[in-house]
Amino acid sequence: MKFRIPLKGYLSLHIGAVAVLPVIIIFLLVWFFMMPAIQTRTEIQRQTMARSIAGHISAYLEGGARQLTALAEYFRNQALDSGPAAVDLLDAQCGDGGFFEALFVVDAENDVVKAVGLAQSRRPNRADYMGLDFSGREFTRPLGTPNKAVWSETFLSTISSSMAVALSLPLEGGSIIGEIPLGNLAEFISHLPVESEFLTLVIDSQGLVVADSQQRRSGQVSNFSYSAAEGGGT
């Protein structure tokens, strides 16, 4: 016995197929042709944003390096050492701690602090840091070009025991070292003009988060690992 489809049912199936077929074709076109283009465009936009953020961070850090370089040059030209004039100048450069939390002038012979400038809130404790032994710190004796500041790896701050980095330059008979708490960098990137749903991480060459825009992940090990050759790190 043959099964017969009523004309009404046949027409309904035919009309339904005609209606659904364009939808299927559009879906396939979007999936195979438009989606890769959208993904590529999104990736380009993210890379552009990442480069922009990296540029802001580089400018922020390079500004501190230029500040320390100019300060070291002034110390050399004026033959400043550890007197009141030197301390006043170091204090002025620290200001309220917006970039440098402390500036140390370290004696080359004994690797001890002979002058220290501090952020305003830290100045009552200045005596605690005079004569401090820096001999165990690699950044005490910066290597390389005399007029080029050298960045350290991350370490616990001498002042606040929070994560920090140091910027060092040689002086006649010693060195000048600026200590920058990474909280300052996190505060800076948290105010960059990016969309709120984006998380900005600054990761060092060991994959350690040194600063993040939400100020919650500093010191954590990330899932990323970059080498200096690949352009990673702070």
11 is a domain residue: no
| Residue range(s) defining the domain that contains residue 160 | 64-182
Binned average pLDDT, 10 residues per bin, the chain of 234 residues: 57 66 72 71 77 84 91 86 88 92 89 91 92 80 67 85 88 88 85 70 75 69 47 40
Q: How far apart are CA 204 and CA 222, in angstroms?
A: 10
CATH code at position 94: 3.30.450.20
Q: Which string of DSSP letters, residue by residue, matches 158-208?
A: TTTSSEEEEEEEEETTEEEEEEEEHHHHHHHHHTSS--TT---EEE-TTSB
pLDDT at residue 94, rounded to an integer: 93
Instruction: Let me know if 222 is exposed, middle or buried by CB neighbors in 10 A (0-12, 13-18, 19+).
Output: middle
Q: Which residues are CB-neighbours of 113 under 8 A, at least 6 positions away?
A: 104, 105, 106, 107, 129, 130, 131, 132, 134
162 is a domain residue: yes
82 is a domain residue: yes
pLDDT at residue 25, rounded to an integer: 74
Instruction: Let me know if 181 is exposed, middle or buried by CB neighbors in 10 A (0-12, 13-18, 19+).
Output: buried
pLDDT at residue 91, rounded to an integer: 94
**Domain tally for the chain?**
1
141 is a domain residue: yes
204 is a domain residue: no
40 is a domain residue: no
pLDDT at residue 178, rounded to an integer: 93
pLDDT at residue 117, rounded to an integer: 94
111 is a domain residue: yes
Q: How far apart are CA 86 and CA 149, in angstroms?
A: 19
51 is a domain residue: no
**Does pTM top 0.85 for this prediction?**
no
3-class DSSP state of 21? helix
